[in-house]
Amino acid sequence: MDSIWYKTVDIPRFGKISGDINTDVLIIGGGMAGILTAYFLQKAGVDYILVEKNRICSGITGNTTAKITIQHGLIYDKILKSSGTEAAKMYLSANKAAFNKYGEICKNIDCDYEIRDNYVYSVDDRQKLENEMAALGKIGYNAEFCRSTELPLKIAGAVKFANQAQFNPLKFIASIVGGLNIYENTFVRETVGNTVITDSGKISADRVIVTTHFPFINKHGSYYLKLYQHRSYVIALENAQKLCGMYVDENKKGLSFRNYNDLLLLGGGGHRTGERGGGSEEVRRFAKIKYPSAREVCHWAAQDCMSLDNIPYIGRYSKNTHNLYTACGFNKWGMTGSMVSAMLLSDMAVGRKNEYEDIFSPSRNMIKPQLFINGIKAAANLLKISKKRCPHLGCALKWNESKHSWDCACHGSRFDESGKLLDNPSNGDLPQRI
């Protein structure tokens, strides 16, 4: 089922590329990150085009819960411990700039932009919250510790960031895409140097920016080791709770809450793509207990790319690709992650130095515990016997009974019952048996 956002707005349509084209900058991928990058390049007077394999925002952007916040779980304590005080300050500063840019743009458009306090809570680990509060104190951010909230949950506490925001992402997109140089239904099959091969022509570009959620070019950057994908589920409920704030559990498998108009958007059931998890039924069970009078209006699912160190990869695709860039690994915080990406990549595309290049560099140190977990899981799935294998790198596919899809536990590609590609990084459908 489509998300609530698709029920509220009709996104403008764009034509398909026909024949060969030359451009200074090519953006591959028409989600929030790609469109915002196009938006900034257009304002800068840069020659660019954006191509999307389906409709714009038909992937992760259309399935987000659309919270705009600089509070990304308990991220600041993690960065402080792994990368130091300056890195944590830079991450905070970059996301503040992204948050402020949304406010600036949303001031002039109708996208249901609302200021809300944001809370990260824990049901059983107060120490984690206290560690985050201490980290925030060290980098000069004034957060608030809360012993209880309006949620129907017993919690150990919550960290509150005041005056964050929520909006309707597709209303936002519909308001800014007019006049942008976008081509839909243009599937990029491969890249040869700075030339991109599509089903309907070649595109030659001086610089190429890949914003396809999971980077699809395997020969650079080792993203198949640096990323994995995590699925989560949302149901929209009538006659449920009217919340004043936005909430998320610090545990990836926990619940998230926000309102949209008279609906409660309740998320959870998370699991690594291709593995077992609670799914939407887990969310429904919670709703049935806590909101017995509520009625489900719609439901949907999304999956997020998770980086090795909880920081997105934004910048040059690899050390050796000076004219190839990417943005990925938003770790469930795709709204501010997309804006940071667009601001940084549009600067890099025109040769302007951006102060946040180093902290988000995709070529930073890879030696993290998650790297070994990703490698072990990939090796296990490569050796596993399966009727179907992912054309991305050959991992075994697992049938997802609840979503009726073939899912890859290595890198998160998904295919429908007939083998049609649903989610990348695979760049094609499953081969049909003769």
Per residue in 180-225, pLDDT (tens digit) is: 999 999 999 888 888 999 988 999 999 999 999 999 887 888 898 8
- Please give the model's pTM, rounded to 2 decimal places: 0.92
**Cβ neighbourhood burial of 218 (10 Å; 0-12, 13-18, 19+):** middle
CA 132/CA 189 separation, integer angstroms = 44
For range 310-329, the mean pLDDT: 95
Q: Write the pLDDT tens digit of every residue in 151-165.
A: 999 999 999 999 999
In sequence order, what are the residues at sequence separation of 6 or more whose Cβ sits closer than 8 angstroms to the Cβ of residue 165? 67, 68, 69, 99, 102, 103, 106, 113, 114, 115, 116
Distance CA 256, CA 143 (A): 19
pLDDT tens figures, 366-411 = 877 787 677 676 666 665 767 788 878 777 787 777 677 888 877 7
The mean pLDDT of 59-66, rounded to a whole number, is: 94
Give pLDDT, residue 385: 67
Q: How far apart are CA 122 and CA 126, in angstroms?
A: 7
pLDDT above 50 for 329: yes
pLDDT computed for residue 289 by the predictor: 97
Q: What is the pLDDT of residues 351-364, one digit of tens each?
A: 999 999 999 999 99
C-alpha angle 228/230/233, rounded to 5°?
165
On whether the CB atoms of residues 236 and 63 are closer than 8 A, the answer is no
State residue 193's pLDDT score. 82
pLDDT of residue 431: 76
Listed residue (376, 375, 413) closest to 392, CA to CA: 413
Residue intervals of the chain classified under CATH 3.30.9.10 are 113-165+227-306
Architecture of domain 369-423: 3-layer Sandwich (2.102)
CB of 164 closer than 8 Å to CB of 71:
yes
What is the reported pLDDT for 168?
A: 98
Range list for CATH 3.50.50.60 in the chain: 4-64+171-226+309-360
More confident residue, 86 or 421: 86
CB 5 within 8 A of CB 167: no
- List the CATH code of the domain at 113-165+227-306: 3.30.9.10
pLDDT surpassing 50 at residue 434? no
Averaged pLDDT, 217-237: 90
**Residue extent(s) of CATH 2.102.10.10 domains in the chain:** 369-423
pLDDT at 376: 75
CATH fourth-level superfamily of 4-64+171-226+309-360: FAD/NAD(P)-binding domain (3.50.50.60)
Q: What is the pLDDT of residue 380?
A: 66
**pLDDT for residue 171 is more than 90:** yes
263 vs 297: CA distance, rounded Å: 9
Average pLDDT over the chain, rounded to whole?
92
Higher confidence at residue 303 or residue 140? 140
Q: Give the pLDDT of residue 378.
A: 65
The yes-or-no verdict on residue 130 having pLDDT over 80 is: yes
Q: Is the pLDDT of residue 313 over 80?
A: yes
